[in-house]
A and B are shown apart, each in its own frame.
Chain A
């Protein structure tokens, strides 16, 4: 390994990246932009669900019931609808996602201590959102029912309403969410976004950078000289690893400062561990670049081999434990899952090397294997 050659190649590469406006943007602007777009666009919290009410009763009780929803931060009231047909139209047009239909005689039925039925129409076009919505509706409805029963009991027994309520719920469920006290989805999302972006950006840059030389023919300068394969690969990839290192810091700052995600772990562990992950994903880019010949092919292949594992098999949207048996095995084979453990552990759990050495070791092994394969497959005397 001759250092002068490595430096020559790295220096040339760096100049090209910095002077090529498109490449520069791809290297430094796109990762941060992805963080912003994904962060604001992919929030899984369901709040402010627009809803309407069809009130056939128009009694104090029906208004009381509706106000339970109107006051909730989970729902945003869009007004009363005349009848079910109007309501269906509102849902169809997407103006509201939930409609409550309060039947005639609702107040009277309740007053007579007989069960009343409320019809709830929920837009089911996004199943997970519909499920969450149904959960909110059920909870508010239960609270209303309980209050109604408590009122009846306090009337009958002379107990205060609060005591009656306490008697009615002998077991109170006290949940405390660990690691993400407010169950805010951005807290769990932002660290995972770092995982996704560092899965996409380094391989893209690397694959394009190497294949660009192949496509326009400047790779022949390397083939036709005494530069060794190792010197070329180290010199060529070093600038991309350096860029990604800057991006690690940038993404971490965005998560902590913009999204206000608490960082409980140690940067001294997080940064080196992330660098190992970046080396690993850079290795993916290298492997793609030795296998394809055009930049278009490099882009498509990189997209397929990085995007799918990063989104589906990483725990970003679906927790690994909820995956099917086959998918579970696939996830174990992909590097993304291991880094998810590390990044979530560092941000939310505050754990370090002691509990995360295993995923780190897997990533390191991964990086070594990818580089070894890339080195073996890269030939200075190819047959095409």
Chain B
């Protein structure tokens, strides 16, 4: 039997005359954890469904287990050997059925013999730690549990190939790490082959091999290390005063440059790190450079660099028309939440949330799906009355001046709230009309929005026909049409490609720094949190941390130590010996390990004892590490006090 499990040659799939994927070649071998990485609309789902034999295709050939999939009958031949977990958290599971009933249904559907099914069920529920909740209806599970249950149901008939479509989207980082660890165990233990897609670039390092997809074609293929080598370079991260002029100088030289809160991060196609440092220092001559680090490039940087050539001219203009009421004192509070609580029946969606956002500040509300972010925003914008607590938004009381608040704020929702069958200009005019702008003001704002969002040339396109990135900027423009002083952005970047996300953050940065707009942004991309000036981490309806990204990292540094990456051939096997040696914070990271420790000397000693000679490499702590650290602490506390969250 051949070792090639999936072979696509010239694969193409079209919907209504438009190709979602075109001319795609790839091969997946037995035992691989193969990743498909790309934003919404890159063609990941189409390929995965076609591989599973549940979607017909128009172009090229697709062979799975050596079987050519060209008809419904031929596709049937492979279905006994595959497991498919489609996109959407728990969407393929049955909400009214309990965990056990869901698993049993899948087992019976797959004709697994009774004893074998019972044994596998117990084994899988034990691995995923779901056994204790077996009688709980699926709809009452958390996102992370739904996703693990989906995995159990996909694996119950012992398939040889599993196809998981975005299994980690919208799941909190702790559950995500847990999921990857379980998947790695299963693949190693059961000789599985897995085809997994993700929109999170930071998960890419977990794959054996992968393809980067963009707009229906393949940008690169290979192991994470191979892809990193495609565009050699490094990252320079610095903190310079004044930030805005430093930014202008650096962007002129290295366009792949972004602001992250008070810091600037740029990618430089210069693999020699000391040389890179010198070049940046030269450019920043005369400015006050407070801190400067040179780091290895991450996959996302490489991805953006590869796309760089394809970038369409949509960068924001340098200067923006200032809103009507400029220059409010930066100490003025734009948003203030005091003890906000929202209950739906017995369910506490938001429990006692307090925070403050100053004018000109980007405030990030972070958390997984279901953590309570959207509910909090809805209360502050006056859409949902709070069960208790109070708040002030744009100088007005949230409870008494709902209408006043609505006229002073901009709100961009998860779904972008555009009218997809109206054109770009019609959408903007509609919003201008809703906010009561007169004709003259409207035309001024129209021009401003077209400039800001880079929509020139698309004025008469239907919103539905715009790529996600442009659609998102149009939605932002519509939210800004009445020049609000406070802007609420609810998951504004979900589903948008890294390039689009960067351009978007660039605009937000300018809005806050130049125009003094206060922003409350929610996101489940932990990497985006770095763009914020101040963060609140939400977990199960509560704010579990409230500080600047730097402060949060400092705190983790103080509590758990520096982050080190350990490279070893058998990294996964080192987890338990390291934990036994007293290193509490060890987690697999792709083919390497991440360890948090204050004592690198001892780590190196222990590693040498385990036969690992290569010294661990210090890494800057990412927001995801902060979140995992915080939540793990909380869970440990609640276990210690005996109360189960």
Contact = CB atoms under 8 A, between A and B. Distances in A.
Nearest to B84: A224
Interface string B90-103: 01111011000100
B155 to A, nearest CB: 13
Given A20-B96, A217-B86, A218-B91, A379 B72 contact: yes
Most chain A beta-carbon contacts within 10 A, residue among B49, B54, B137, B153? B54
B111 A4 contact: yes
A225 B110 contact: yes
A382 interface: yes
Interface in B471-497: none
Q: Which of A20, A224, A382 has the most CB of B within 10 A?
A: A224
Interface in A1-36: 2, 4-5, 7-9, 11-12, 15-16, 19-20
A217 B53 contact: no
A207 B86 CA distance: 22
Given A16-B94, A20-B96, A384-B15, A221 B106 contact: yes
Interface in A365-384: 379-384
Nearest to B50: A381
Contacts of A380: 53-54, 72, 75-76
B97 A382 contact: no
A224 B110 CA distance: 10
Contact of B94 (A12, A222, A379): A12
Interface in B418-477: none
A16 B153 CA distance: 18
A210 B585 CA distance: 47
B19 to A, nearest CB: 13
Contacts of B111: 2, 4-5, 226
B109 A225 contact: yes
B82 interface: yes
Contacts of B82: 224
B223 interface: no
Nearest to A224: B84
A51 to B, nearest CB: 53
A9 to B, nearest CB: 7
Contact of A223 (B54, B87, B101): B54
Interface string A226-255: 110000000000000000000000000000
B56 A382 contact: yes
Contacts, number: 92
A216 interface: yes
Contacts of B53: 223-224, 380-381
Contacts of A5: 108-109, 111
A15 B56 contact: no
Given A8-B109, A381-B56, A220 B92 contact: yes
Contacts of A384: 15, 55
B7 to A, nearest CB: 18
B505 interface: no
B457 to A, nearest CB: 31
Given A5-B108, A224-B83, A217 B76 contact: no
B80 interface: yes
Interface residues of B, number: 34
B109 A381 contact: no
Given A216-B91, A224-B52, A12 B75 contact: no
B108 A8 contact: yes
A1 to B, nearest CB: 13
B75 A381 contact: yes
Interface string B1-37: 0000000000000010000000000000000000000
B88 interface: yes
A218 B92 contact: yes
A384 B110 CA distance: 24
Given A4-B108, A15-B97, A225-B79, A383 B56 contact: yes
Contact of A221 (B55, B92, B137): B92
A19 B94 CA distance: 11
Contact of A382 (B55, B76, B87, B110): B55
A19 B153 CA distance: 21
B105 interface: yes
A230 B59 CA distance: 29
Nearest to B87: A217
Contacts of B71: 381
A211 to B, nearest CB: 14
Interface string A83-109: 000000000000000000000000000
B80 A15 contact: no
A9 B111 CA distance: 12
A7 B109 CA distance: 9
A223 B87 CA distance: 14
Interface string B347-384: 00000000000000000000000000000000000000
Contacts of B84: 220-221, 223-224
A9 B54 contact: no
Contacts of B101: 12, 15
Contacts of B108: 4-5, 7-8
A226 B76 contact: yes
Nearest to A215: B91
A220 B109 contact: no
Contact of B105 (A12, A220, A226): A12
A179 to B, nearest CB: 47
Given A5-B108, A380-B54, A381-B53, A224 B79 contact: yes
Interface string B52-87: 111110000000000000011001100110111011
B55 A381 contact: yes
A380 B52 CA distance: 11
A16 B55 CA distance: 27
A303 B92 CA distance: 28
Given A4-B111, A15-B101, A217-B87, A381 B72 contact: yes
20 contacts: A19-B96, A217-B86, A218-B91, A220-B49, A220-B52, A220-B54, A221-B84, A221-B92, A223-B54, A224-B53, A224-B79, A224-B82, A226-B79, A226-B111, A380-B72, A381-B55, A381-B72, A382-B54, A382-B56, A384-B15
Interface of A: 2, 4-5, 7-9, 11-12, 15-16, 19-20, 216-218, 220-227, 379-384
The 9 A-B pairs of least Cβ separation, nearest first, read A8-B108, A223-B54, A19-B96, A224-B84, A217-B91, A220-B86, A381-B72, A383-B56, A218-B92
Given A15-B97, A19-B96, A380-B53, 12 more contacts: A5-B111, A12-B105, A16-B94, A19-B137, A217-B91, A218-B91, A221-B109, A380-B54, A381-B71, A382-B55, A383-B55, A383-B56
